[in-house]
Amino acid sequence: MAANKGDYPKPRPAISALNRPYWDALRRREFVLQRCGECGMRWYPPAPLCPRCWSRRIEWTPASGRGRVSSWVVFHQSYFRGFDAEIPYNVAEVELEEGPRLLTNLVGVRNEEIRSGMEVEVVFDDAAPDLTLAKFRPRRASA
């Protein structure tokens, strides 16, 4: 990961030429995934070609930002000083409506209330002036 900048105490993402569009979009408060122009597949993590058909005709397009919790853990041990104040903190794997899964922190829910299959939606966390993270919260009934 890149060296910490400014006062942000947590690990920063390793931004590369491949994944930069994802992180740039988050700063604009857009949640995007790659999409194959040939077969329509959506995937994560970022890839240089479509994992299904190997087409290079791929684009970053808005995704629903909705999904379900497929698994989760709660950290009780300190590994990163930047997370110490939040222990015990959760990390969830969310299966997006488009198919791929990603790791995130769930917000707006107590750790004891997290359930497998829980419907969640993206929330943009402006973690630092130059960094926005995709976190997820339980979907509201009206959504």
Partner 1 sequence: MPPFELKDRAAIAGAGASAYGRRLMRSAIDLAADAIAAALDDAGLARERLDGMIVTFGSPIGADADTLAQVLNLKLRAYNQTWAHGRFTASAIQWAALMVAGGMADYVACLASVSFSGFRRPMMGGAGDSEGAREAGGSHGEDPVFGMTSPGAGAALVARRYFERYGATSAQLAAVPVAFRKHAALNPAAIMREPFSIGDHQASRFVCEPLHLLDYCLINDGAACVIVTSAERARDLRKPPIYIAGMQPLPAGREEFIWAYPGFGVAQQSVFDYDAGEQPVYRMAGVGPRDIDALFTYDAFSILAWIALERFGFCKPGEAAAFTQDGRIELGGALPMNVNGGLLSEAHIMGWNHQVEIARQLRGECGPRQVAGAEVIQWANAYGDSLIYHR
For 60, counting Cβ atoms within 10 Å of its Cβ (0-12 exposed, 13-18 middle, 19+ buried), the class is middle
Q: Which of 37, 40, 62, 88 binds partner 1 (CB under 8 A)?
A: 88
Piece of 32-40, 57-65, 93-101 that binds partner 1 (CB under 8 A): 93-101
Residues from 30 through 69 that contact partner 1 (CB under 8 A):
43-46, 51
Residue 86 near partner 1 by CB under 8 A: yes
Q: How far apart are CA 20 and CA 55, in angstroms?
A: 20
Instruction: State the nearest-atom distance from the C-beta of 141 to partner 1, in Å.
Output: 23
CB 104 within 8 A of CB 116: no
Gyration radius (Cα) of the chain, Å? 16
CA-based angle 79:83:87, to the nearest 5?
Answer: 90
Note the residues at the interface with partner 1 (CB under 8 A): 1, 10-14, 16, 18-19, 43-46, 51, 70-77, 79-80, 83, 86, 88-89, 91, 93, 95, 100-101, 103-105, 116, 133
